[in-house]
Amino acid sequence: MRNKSEYVTKVTSSHWGAFEVDVQDGRIVRTRPFSEDPCPSAIPDILPKAVHHPTRVARPSVRRGWLENRDRTERGSDTFVELSWDEALDIAAAELCRVREVHGNEAIYGGSYGWGSAGRFHHAQSQVHRFLNSIGGYVASFGSYSTGCAQAIMPHVFGVPFLKLNYEHQDGWPTIAANTETLVMFGGVNPKNSQVSMGGVTRHETALWFETFAKNGMRCINIGPQRTDAPEGCEWVSLKPGSDTALMLAMAYVLETEHLTDQEFLARCTTGFERFRPYLMGDTDGSPKSPEWAGPICGVDPDTIRILARRMAATRTLITVAWSLQRGEHGEQPYWMSAVLAAMLGQIGLPGGGVGYGYGAIGGVGKSLKGLRGATFSQGENPVRKFIPVARVGDMLRHPGEIYAFNGRREAYPDIRLVYWAGGNPFHHHQDLNGLHDAWQRPETIIVNEPWWTATAKRADIVFPATTPYEREDIGRSNFDDYLFHMPQLIPPVGEARDDYAIFAGLAKRLGVEETFTEGRSAGEWLRVLYDDYRNIARDEGVDVPSFETLRDMNWVRLPIQQDTPNRTLFAPFREDPEAAPLPTPSGKIEIFSETIDGFGYDDCRGHPVWLPPTEWLGVATSEAPLHLVSPQPGDKLHSQLESALADEDGARPEKVVIHPADAAFRKIKTGDPVRVFNDRGACRARAVVSDDIRQGVVSLPTGAWFGDPGGNIDPAGNPNVLTRDVGTSRLGQGCSAHTALVDVARI
């Protein structure tokens, strides 16, 4: 920490990359782009305002009704009583102790999903999980809202964990630039999304790679409901949301009927094509999956499908699939089907060919770097074995004891009495927020660590004010990045905020587990331990990393870990010799038919990919709900973070909804008009943007606005999750189905 009146400029890192921060008199006064970033994010612009915003939680706060009579009905509408740290920590510790003794640790939900902030030590999820483990464990969560469904289905197909597949076994951008002739992007590849990455990517290069692709003459085709999902210059095949599987099936049908299927690859490297083919040809259900069949389902001209399929067979083709496709009902199907289509094309394992997932979703996918481990704060062991698929939190709270299916298992939802959340905002991220609001009244106690009065903090019983990364010292590094940062403490904690570590250490002390949680170390001591551990691992890998003190003086360094060789460590040797380098699937091959999944007996995820119409999509649009809502990631920020300051900007709220000119004209809506987006689950305000960059019949409202109104009235800020459905993708994946929703829009 510097002298108060000194003016200092330092670089820090974040999920949206590095940036310079000017500090004066203990306040962040300005930010500037980092010199080495070719396409810096604009998110830091809002930081000076956000960090010092009146919506910061100033002091530990306890909800009045809960404090006075353990009320559970007024969450979201009650007032708060500010207490001293000691009083609030005493109360929270006593309550944790009571719940643990009366109901056991299986009554504590600590999944605590969310992105929190970058920084290796002050990582809110690691902190809360380690703390809860130190007191006997908690009900955890599996997967993520990002890729939960893919994490369940894809290991059945390729045998490896999905995230390993995404980050370690896919071609890097240089390999794609050098080899790919046709890039077919389901759901696009959006440079706006790759501005963000877990732990940060410093050089934002996705948009630049597309300039190279264009120069190389690569054909880049974006298939989806929005032209803007891919950089300018890409072709656009406009498709009804949720119908990708039908389109892929029709492409497969063209390959098969025009003798373009790579039979040799199928025979050597896959299993189960003969079980899938009768479905494809229509032998099993009487409907051949031809372009004429798919055309009306997808809203795509059959000839377009045919011509594209032929080109894919004739050129080096990489199919990419956005994570968004599995964030919808039956999201397992387009994921599995994309792998089948790529297998039929026979290019899996060739440079720049095959299929890849999540390109553009976050900045790390496509980077070719030597992965270095280390600098991770251990979460300890969780003695509680029970967990839920992360997006099933609403069902868990609503239906304790109820049996549900998940990826071949049958489990009962635990009976949760206490919820602890740190580093996430479920009242931003979960579906059907009015439903969640009701379910949220059931637990006896809800504790939240948060820097800001978010919708979640407002619905807690005990709120501990947490510091932001600018108020504490940390290390910034990520496996997707070749930069390493010392993240200095730039300003004193705002209000009475404390680091999550200090909050949990305070609770651990009261619960008699201080030594287990802290191991006798201060935050500063932990930083050095984690850093030295990382430095040793790096040294063993032949990478020289400066000492902690040197890094602190330098602020940041770039490490020599760029790789020229492609990342294809899995599929190239497999393709070469599938017997010698089998995949870790039951058959050792790519599973076009999975005996395992077939054995589960699910009608919503069968033994091979099939077209399953979602419950809500344009195929069943009604006059009450005629429009399909997609709710993508916001371009101007990370989820709901820094939202309170952004919302202050002129015209920033309510959030903008993109609508097609024909849909707008029918409703007498012009750009800039305030509108109501609604369905039978809820309603929110938004501001119309009329554009033909979106498919007719589809509207797009990004996530991130702070959910305001409890109950069934209109959400003033424009959070799309008042409209989305809270159902799992299927019994297999149980992922989040946010992109499956029908709505209507009206002028206010």
Ligand X SMILES: Nc1nc2c(c(=O)[nH]1)N[C@H]1C(S)=C(S)[C@@H](COP(=O)(O)OP(=O)(O)OC[C@H]3O[C@@H](n4cnc5c(=O)[nH]c(N)nc54)[C@H](O)[C@@H]3O)O[C@H]1N2
Q: Does 379 bind Mo ion (CB under 5 A)?
A: no
- CB of residue 468 to ligand X, shortest distance in Å: 6
Residues in contact with ligand X, counted by CB under 6 A, come to a total of 62
Query: What's the start-to-end Cα distance of the chain, in Å?
Result: 50
- CB of residue 710 to ligand X, shortest distance in Å: 18
The whole-angstrom separation of Cα 548 and Cα 529 is 10
Is there a cis peptide before residue 584, judged by omega within 30 degrees of 0? no
Q: Which of residues 223-262 bind Mo ion (CB under 5 A)?
A: none
* Choice between 146 and 585, CB closer to Mo ion: 146
* Choice between 252 and 741, CB closer to Mo ion: 741
Of 51-59, 338-346, 534-542, 626-634, the window that binds ligand X (rule: CB under 6 A) is 626-634
The whole-angstrom separation of Cα 246 and Cα 204 is 34
Region of residue 407 (phi > 0: left; psi between -120 and 50: alpha; otherwise: beta):
left
- CB of residue 361 to Mo ion, shortest distance in Å: 8
Q: Does 677 bind ligand X (CB under 6 A)?
A: no
Give CA angle at 500 (497, 502), nearest 5°.
80
DSSP-derived secondary structure letter, 324: G
Under 8 Å between Cβ of 724 and 629? yes
Single residue of 109, 145, 293, 707 touching ligand X by CB under 6 A: 145
* Choice between 105 and 146, CB closer to Mo ion: 146
The whole-angstrom separation of Cα 411 and Cα 418 is 20
The whole-angstrom separation of Cα 226 and Cα 498 is 43
* Choice between 199 and 288, CB closer to ligand X: 199
Q: Does 724 bind ligand X (CB under 6 A)?
A: yes
DSSP state string for 132-148? HHHTT--BEEES-TTTH
Under 8 Å between Cβ of 366 and 327? no
Among ligand X, Mo ion, none, residue 346 binds (CB under 5-8 Å by kind): none
Q: Does 444 bind ligand X (CB under 6 A)?
A: no
Which one-letter amino acid corresponds to residue 294? A
* Choice between 219 and 268, CB closer to ligand X: 219
> Three-state SS string across 144-181, please?
CCCCHHHHHHHHHHHCCCHHHHHHHCCCCHHHHHHHCC
| 710-744 residues labelled b (16+ CB within 10 A) or e (exposed) | beeebbbbbbbbbbbbbbbbbbbbbbbbbbbbbbb
Among ligand X, Mo ion, none, residue 654 binds (CB under 5-8 Å by kind): none
- CB of residue 365 to Mo ion, shortest distance in Å: 13
Q: What is the CA radius of gyration of the chain?
A: 25
- CB of residue 190 to ligand X, shortest distance in Å: 6
- CB of residue 352 to ligand X, shortest distance in Å: 21
Single residue of 146, 166, 324, 703 touching Mo ion by CB under 5 A: 146
Q: Does 449 bind ligand X (CB under 6 A)?
A: yes
The whole-angstrom separation of Cα 667 and Cα 265 is 52
The H-assigned helical ranges of 53-114 are 64-69, 85-103
- CB of residue 575 to ligand X, shortest distance in Å: 27
Residue 33 DSSP SS3 = strand
Place of tokens 């870790």: 584
Q: Which two tokens stand for residue 492?
A: 């004193």
Q: Does 530 bind ligand X (CB under 6 A)?
A: no
- CB of residue 324 to ligand X, shortest distance in Å: 3
Under 8 Å between Cβ of 686 and 655? yes
* Choice between 146 and 179, CB closer to Mo ion: 146
Q: Which residues pair with 219 in a beta bridge?
A: 182
Q: Which two tokens stand for residue 651?
A: 């015209």
Q: Which of residues 424-443 bind ligand X (CB under 6 A)?
A: 424-425, 428-429
Of 41-49, 131-139, 146-154, 719-727, the window that binds Mo ion (rule: CB under 5 A) is 146-154
Among Mo ion, ligand X, none, residue 511 binds (CB under 5-8 Å by kind): none
CB closest to Mo ion, residue no: 146
Q: Does 364 bind ligand X (CB under 6 A)?
A: no
* Choice between 449 and 730, CB closer to ligand X: 449
Q: Is 167 a catalytic residue?
A: no
The whole-angstrom separation of Cα 20 and Cα 487 is 11
Single residue of 191, 710, 720, 733 touching ligand X by CB under 6 A: 720
The H-assigned helical ranges of 315-432 are 332-345, 393-398, 426-429
Q: Is 556 a catalytic residue?
A: no
Q: Which of residues 591-620 bind ligand X (CB under 6 A)?
A: none
Give CA angle at 507 (502, 512), nearest 5°.
120
The H-assigned helical ranges of 372-432 are 393-398, 426-429
Single residue of 28, 196, 252, 669 touching ligand X by CB under 6 A: 196
- Sign of the Cα torsion 382, 387, 392, 394 reads negative
Is there a cis peptide before residue 278, judged by omega within 30 degrees of 0? no
Single residue of 420, 452, 453, 571 touching ligand X by CB under 6 A: 452
* Choice between 313 and 629, CB closer to ligand X: 629
Single residue of 105, 141, 146, 587 touching ligand X by CB under 6 A: 146
Q: How far is CA 133 from CA 85, 91, 639, in A?
A: 23, 20, 28
DSSP-derived secondary structure letter, 377: -
* Choice between 137 and 328, CB closer to ligand X: 328
- CB of residue 456 to ligand X, shortest distance in Å: 7
- CB of residue 585 to ligand X, shortest distance in Å: 25
Q: Does 115 bind ligand X (CB under 6 A)?
A: yes
Compose the 213-242 pattern: x for residues touching ligand X by CB under 6 A, - for all others: ----------xxxx--x---------x-xx
β-pairing verdict for 219-224 and 235-238: parallel
The whole-angstrom separation of Cα 470 and Cα 241 is 40
Of 85-93, 182-190, 305-313, 595-603, the window that binds ligand X (rule: CB under 6 A) is 182-190
* Choice between 546 and 635, CB closer to ligand X: 635
Q: Which two tokens stand for residue 318?
A: 């990489």
Which one-letter amino acid corresponds to residue 268? R
Q: Does 585 bind ligand X (CB under 6 A)?
A: no
Of 444-452, 487-495, 574-582, 725-733, the window that binds ligand X (rule: CB under 6 A) is 444-452
* Neighbouring C-alpha atoms within 13 Å toward the C-beta of 337: 29
Compose the 490-509 pattern: x for residues touching ligand X by CB under 6 A, - for all others: ----------x---------
DSSP-derived secondary structure letter, 471: G
Compose the 293-332 pattern: x for residues touching ligand X by CB under 6 A, - for all others: -----------------------------xxxx-xx----
Residue 533 DSSP SS3 = helix
Among ligand X, Mo ion, none, residue 239 binds (CB under 5-8 Å by kind): ligand X
* Choice between 197 and 347, CB closer to ligand X: 197
β-pairing verdict for 656-659 and 698-700: antiparallel
- Catalytic site residue from 16, 109, 113, 404: 113
686: nearest Cα among 724, 726, 714: 714
Q: Does 631 bind ligand X (CB under 6 A)?
A: yes
Single residue of 634, 682, 708, 735 touching ligand X by CB under 6 A: 634
Q: Does 423 bind ligand X (CB under 6 A)?
A: yes
588: nearest Cα among 355, 278, 272: 272
- Catalytic site residue from 16, 66, 109, 115: 115
Residues engaged in binding Mo ion (CB under 5 A): 146
Residues with a known catalytic role? 113, 115
| Residue ranges that bind ligand X, judged by CB under 6 A | 114-117, 122, 124, 145-146, 186-188, 190, 192-193, 195-196, 223-226, 229, 239, 241-242, 244, 322-325, 327-328, 361-362, 422-425, 428-429, 449-452, 454, 466, 500, 630-635, 638-641, 703, 720-721, 724, 738-739
